Amino acid sequence: MAQVIKAPLEGVLEIFPRIFEDQRGYFFESFRADWLEAAGVTHGWVQDNQSYSQRGTVRGLHFQRGEYAQAKLVRVIQGKVLDVIVDLRKDSPTFGKKYSVILDGERNNLMYVPTGFAHGFSVLEDAIFAYKCSNYYHKESEGGILWNDPTLNIDWQVSEPITSEKDSDWPTLEEFRHSEGGL
């Protein structure tokens, strides 16, 4: 059975699968619905995504709104990333709070991110990043928070971030709060 740890932000989980190693290599179950069900999470997963990013890349902070909101189960297949989430749930006592974990292809840990969070990551070692989504991507429902928002003060642990133009154009958390109030 995997070890499931509750994070300080309600609903967020870090999961450590049981890894079996021998002279041939290793084996582990990278996903089991019963891990999440035991913690009260009962999503059906509808989409798997995978990306490759070079060291120094920062992706995010992304979310989807309304009926297209997505919970995510994220992990690194190869390499290492700093995975970051920000609570955007309108009535949450931790609205605007951030949380991060290092996901890596050696520990094979996962993070469950409920709906209502912005999600992003920085690449500490070239990485193959994979995640399950509870809902389909819907372009018109996409949103984001500026990755380098000074009020969030996220230490992405990379010296010269490589970002997309889109990720540099998202509003700050305060602009988002003023225009939308939350998710």
Question: Domain of 148: which CATH number?
Answer: 2.60.120.10
Local confidence band at 36 (pLDDT 50, 70, 90 cut-offs): confident
Strands in 134-165 per DSSP E: 142-144
Distances (CA, A) of 104 to 15, 52, 74: 12, 13, 11
Number of domains the chain contains: 1
Interval 118-174: pLDDT, tens: 999 999 999 999 999 999 999 999 999 999 999 999 999 999 999 999 999 999 999
81 in a domain, yes or no? yes
Which two three-digit tokens encode residue 42? 């009962």
Which residues are the active-site residues? 62, 131
Domain that holds residue 169: 3-18+43-180
* Rounded Cα gap, residues 91 and 160, in angstroms: 35
30 in a domain, yes or no? no
Predicted TM-score of the model (pTM) = 0.94
36 in a domain, yes or no? no
The answer on pLDDT for 39 being more than 90 is no
Where is average pLDDT lowest: 5-14, 25-34, 68-77, 139-148?
25-34
pLDDT at 172: 98
The alpha carbon of residue 145 and the mean position of all alpha carbons in its chain are separated, in whole angstroms, by 14
Which two three-digit tokens encode residue 12? 């967020």
139 in a domain, yes or no? yes
